[in-house]
């Protein structure tokens, strides 16, 4: 129930909305077009034959056809999980010359904001609407059945890419696409919410929250691929280099084939999201540079930010939370591991910026840099504290609430950043990356979760060079800015569907006027129950729980302890004025709930792991108790049967050759979590990988017979409950040939990027001892999975 003091505000809001809706029925729409355009009548002449007729050729779909003269190319570079104090351009300790280059060729924005989480920010970026307004109040994998949290961008919110494509742009998306509903990511789609459905003619990257940088779950358009062994230059494969190679090739080919068409390239790296994986030679460049620790890093970054004019001279460095340890309090062995984790992260950041720089080099070589709008967003949220207090060798342990030992991290210190680990640094490093602010990713109530560096350059359209802009803006302002640059208005109707109003404001007014008054005067923030509201220089903030915990204790989301900051005078939210000004707090909280009602934020929900339950969302497998899959099939987890802590039987009818028959029958996941049923050395083997912490291997006691044989693994859980153990029994033609225990099971999520594979294994192996892709060398027609 909403507190009594907020009910009046909500009633007034509903009345206002009703009046506005009534007025829309008589007032003319501000949008100037319906897209796609109606078919034009034939303007030629039709006689009895072609000799007495006059043809009219169809028009090219290029900007000139629609009255746009010399429109710019667009390059959007979006870095994942990047803090305000991470990049050297904004005072951080990691050199980022490509971001420097964009900023020096244009503008740096120091009060630009995101949503505090990845796919919500990306939905807001693409649509120009608040994340809850477009069903993306949280990542899709945690979506619930409410309008603001469906995980589905509605057709009433066409993306800027869809709009500019109708004006002749060629749009290409490289890297991360975390805006496809989890249940629609399989080979059967539907595909209307994949990249093409969101306005992009070409896609090359991965679909999901993150991916292994050495073994990514690659997708080209709608087809899943296995990555090559090397990059185009012959160096060992890395995902960021690969997408840069593809983006460069696409930009060159686009102008070679159709110079009349500008391109829009959306370059959304998987970096610097976990796993922190990067070529070893980049790691060595940072050896020893972070031995002084996270507290020293914050102090050094804070001083640089003042010297560079990134933050005001009167700004204060916020305190480290008591729940994060001081660097000096740690034993030397821990410091050694955590310093190495930061070296890997710095290398990951620098390598990513280097690859972004290759795109800028290409634009310059093509002669297109001056007429390209480059937006370099240093983060879709603050730096991630999901590595917990001690950092991680495997990010999947965090999502499944399974602890890792310090000893395992110490043993892995020399291989951190390699393909052996899905590693993540400690939360205190994430906090340092967000200098000078409080908190990190997930915490939408504070700028550590939402304030990100932004640089924009467009030499043909922005006169300023290397200047700072401090107007308050939000990621929803990017789409209207791009449309404003082109002189294009958002349509009232798109694909026959009435459109929601654009909720962002154009930032073009700031391009040539450093002192222009802010045009964004109000902005709500909410993520995972963390609540914030900005209005006319004031910020009210209410934190729901710390981001490094998989779950937080219950709390009354309607009666949170609110903080208050005058952010016109207090840049970093260092001085809480709530006790001195309770009336202002009350005013701001009422405004938050008014905005929450307006933009589909309600109902508030502060749960984390409970929301990951697949039963909260549509499912292709719901209601089914038997699944038969053909050989050589790949399915993402969202489209595969959920076998976690459930009784199930896996059956494979095969023909085994007399000699050498082996290979994978079925597997899900890989090196960092999952299971596999396979034939090796003449025996049937069931392997269960508990997020890299434990490995349970059950093998048949005797060799398998050749010829036709039915192989079976029966998994009987101790109870249908997270973490439950299980007995696994192996059969050949109904004869028991092996049995063993899985002492503990994966509770929440098997994998973030790998697939459910039949007849082979893609990505990474679920166990050591076989070579990928471990294709089954006998005959396998299908695998059946039965649930009681």
On whether the CB atoms of residues 36 and 166 are closer than 8 A, the answer is yes
With tokens 């070296």, the residue in question is: 343
Q: What confidence tens digit (pLDDT) does each residue in 247-282 have?
A: 999 999 999 999 999 999 999 999 999 999 999 999
Instruction: Please state, in angstroms and as integers, the Cα–Cα distance from residue 749 to each residue in 396, 585, 726, following that order.
Output: 8, 39, 17
What's the pLDDT tens digit per position in 627-649?
A: 999 999 999 998 999 999 999 99
Reported as a single tens digit per residue, the pLDDT across 305-326 is: 999 999 999 999 999 999 999 9
Decide if pLDDT at 411 tops 50.
Answer: yes
| All residues at 6 or more sequence positions from 28 whose CB lies less than 8 Å from its CB, including other chains | none
Three-state secondary structure of 575-619: CCCCCCCHHHHHHHHHHHHHHHHHCCCCCCCCCCHHHHCHHHCCC
Show the tokens assigned to 114: 């995101």
Q: Answer whether residue 204 shows pLDDT above 90.
A: yes
- CA dist 592 and 602 (Å) reads 11
Neighbours of 358 (CB within 10 A): 15
Is residue 220 within 8 A of residue 203, CB to CB? The reply is yes
Q: For 97-138, how does the pLDDT look when each residue is reduced to its tens digit (9 = 90+)?
A: 999 999 999 999 999 999 999 999 999 999 999 999 999 999
pLDDT of 29 higher than 60 = no
Which tens digit of pLDDT belongs to each residue from 44-61? Answer: 999 999 999 999 999 999
pLDDT digits (tens, 9 = 90+) for 587-631: 999 999 999 999 999 999 999 888 888 888 999 999 999 999 999
User: What whole-number distance in Å separates Cα of residue 244 and Cα of residue 212?
Assistant: 16
Instruction: Look at residue 14 and tell me whether its pLDDT is greater than 60.
Output: no
**E-only strand ranges, 671-733:** 673-680, 683-690, 694-699, 707-717, 726-732
DSSP calls for 160-179:
HHHHHHTTT-EEEEEEEE--
Residue 22 has pLDDT above 90, yes or no: no
Structure confidence by residue, pLDDT tens digits, 277-298: 999 999 999 999 999 999 999 9
Tens-digit pLDDT profile for residues 415-428: 999 999 999 999 99
Q: Is 143 exposed, middle or buried (0-12, 13-18, 19+ CB in 10 A)?
A: buried
Burial pattern 9-41, b for ≥16 Cβ within 10 A else e, equals: bbeebeeeeeeeeeeeeeeeeebebebeeeeee
pLDDT digits (tens, 9 = 90+) for 65-104: 999 999 999 999 999 999 999 999 999 999 999 999 999 9
Mean pLDDT, rounded, of the chain: 94
pTM value is 0.94
Phi, psi of 113 (to 5 degrees): -130, 155
Residue 552 banded pLDDT, cuts 50, 70, 90: confident
What is residue 563's predicted lDDT score, i.e. its pLDDT?
A: 98
Q: Is the pLDDT of residue 696 over 70?
A: yes
Specify the pairing of strand 726-732 against strand 707-717. antiparallel
Q: Please report the pLDDT score of residue 17 as a whole number.
A: 40
pLDDT band at residue 551 using 50, 70 and 90 as cut-offs: confident
Query: How high is the pLDDT of residue 32?
Result: 52
């Amino acid at each position: 129930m909403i507190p009594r003091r907020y009910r009046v505000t909500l009633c007034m809001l509903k009345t206002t909305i009703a009046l506005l809706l009534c007025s829309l029925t008589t007032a003319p729409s501000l949008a100037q077009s319906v897209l796609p355009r109606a078919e034009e009548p034939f303007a030629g002449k039709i006689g009895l034959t072609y000799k007495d007729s006059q043809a009219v050729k169809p028009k090219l779909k290029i900007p000139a056809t629609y009255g746009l003269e010399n429109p710019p190319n667009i390059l959007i570079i979006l870095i994942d999980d990047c803090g305000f104090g991470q990049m050297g351009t904004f005072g951080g300790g990691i050199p980022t010359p490509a971001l420097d280059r964009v900023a020096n060729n244009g503008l740096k924005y120091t009060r630009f904001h995101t949503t505090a989480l990845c796919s919500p920010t990306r939905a807001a970026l693409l649509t120009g609407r608040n994340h809850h307004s477009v069903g993306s109040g949280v990542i899709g994998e945690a979506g619930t059945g409410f309008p603001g949290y469906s995980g589905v961008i509605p057709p009433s919110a066409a993306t800027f890419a869809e709009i500019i494509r109708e004006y002749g742009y060629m749009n290409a998306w490289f890297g991360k696409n975390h805006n496809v509903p989890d249940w629609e990511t399989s080979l059967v789609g539907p595909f209307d919410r994949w990249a093409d459905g969101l306005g992009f003619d070409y896609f090359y990257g991965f679909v999901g929250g993150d991916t292994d940088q050495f073994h990514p779950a690659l997708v080209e358009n709608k087809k899943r691929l296995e990555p090559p062994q090397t990059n185009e230059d012959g160096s060992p494969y890395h995902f960021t280099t690969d997408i840069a190679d593809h983006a460069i090739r696409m930009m060159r080919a686009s102008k070679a084939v159709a110079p009349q068409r500008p391109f829009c390239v959306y370059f959304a790296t998987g970096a610097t999201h976990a796993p922190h994986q990067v070529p070893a030679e980049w790691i060595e460049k940072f050896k020893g540079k972070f031995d002084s620790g996270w507290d020293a890093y914050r102090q050094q970054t804070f001083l640089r930010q003042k010297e560079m004019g990134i933050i005001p001279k009167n700004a204060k460095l916020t305190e480290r939370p008591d729940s994060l340890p001081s660097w000096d309090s740690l034993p030397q062995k821990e410091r050694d591991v955590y310093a190495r984790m930061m070296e890997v992260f710095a290398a990951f950041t620098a390598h990513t910026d280097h690859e972004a720089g290759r795109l800028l080099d290409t634009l310059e070589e093509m002669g297109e840099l001056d007429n390209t709008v480059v937006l370099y967003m240093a983060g879709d949220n603050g730096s991630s504290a999901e590595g917990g207090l001690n950092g991680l060798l495997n990010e999947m342990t965090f999502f499944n609430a399974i602890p890792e030992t310090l000893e395992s991290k110490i043993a892995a210190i020399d291989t951190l950043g390699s393909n052996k680990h899905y590693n993540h640094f400690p939360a205190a490093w994430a906090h340092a990356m967000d200098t000078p602010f409080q908190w990190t990713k997930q915490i939408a109530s504070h700028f550590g979760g939402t304030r990100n560096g932004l640089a924009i350059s467009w030499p043909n359209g922005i006169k300023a060079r290397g200047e700072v802009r401090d107007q308050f803006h939000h990621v929803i302002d990017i789409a209207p800015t791009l449309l404003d640059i082109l002189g294009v208005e958002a349509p009232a109707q798109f694909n026959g569907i009435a459109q929601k109003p654009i909720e962002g404001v154009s930032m073009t007014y700031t391009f040539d006027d450093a002192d222009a008054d802010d045009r964004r005067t109000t902005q709500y923030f909410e993520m995972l129950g963390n609540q914030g509201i900005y209005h006319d220089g004031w910020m009210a903030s209410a934190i729901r729980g710390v981001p490094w915990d998989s779950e937080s204790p219950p709390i009354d989301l309607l009666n949170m302890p609110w903080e208050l900051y005058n952010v016109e005078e207090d840049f970093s939210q260092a001085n809480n004025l709530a006790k001195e000004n309770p009336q202002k707090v009350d005013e701001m909280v009422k405004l938050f709930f008014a905005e929450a009602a307006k933009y589909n934020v309600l109902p508030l929900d502060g749960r984390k792991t409970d929301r990951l339950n697949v039963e909260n969302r549509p499912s292709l497998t719901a209601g089914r108790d038997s699944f038969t899959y053909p050989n050589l099939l790949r399915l993402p987890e969202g489209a595969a049967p959920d076998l976690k802590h459930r009784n199930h039987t896996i059956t494979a009818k095969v023909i085994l050759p007399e000699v050498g028959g082996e290979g994978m029958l079925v597997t899900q996941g890989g090196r960092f979590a999952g299971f596999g049923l396979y034939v090796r050395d003449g025996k049937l083997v069931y392997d269960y990988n508990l997020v890299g912490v434990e490995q349970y291997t059950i093998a048949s006691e005797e060799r398998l017979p050749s010829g036709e044989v039915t192989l079976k693994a029966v998994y009987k859980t101790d109870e249908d409950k997270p973490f439950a153990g299980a007995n696994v029994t192996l059969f050949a033609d109904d004869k028991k040939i092996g049995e063993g225990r899985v002492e503990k099971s994966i509770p929440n999520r098997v994998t973030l990027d790998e697939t459910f594979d039949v007849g082979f294994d893609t990505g990474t192996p679920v166990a050591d001892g076989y070579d990928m892709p471990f294709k089954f060398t006998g005959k396998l027609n299908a695998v059946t999975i039965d649930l009681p």
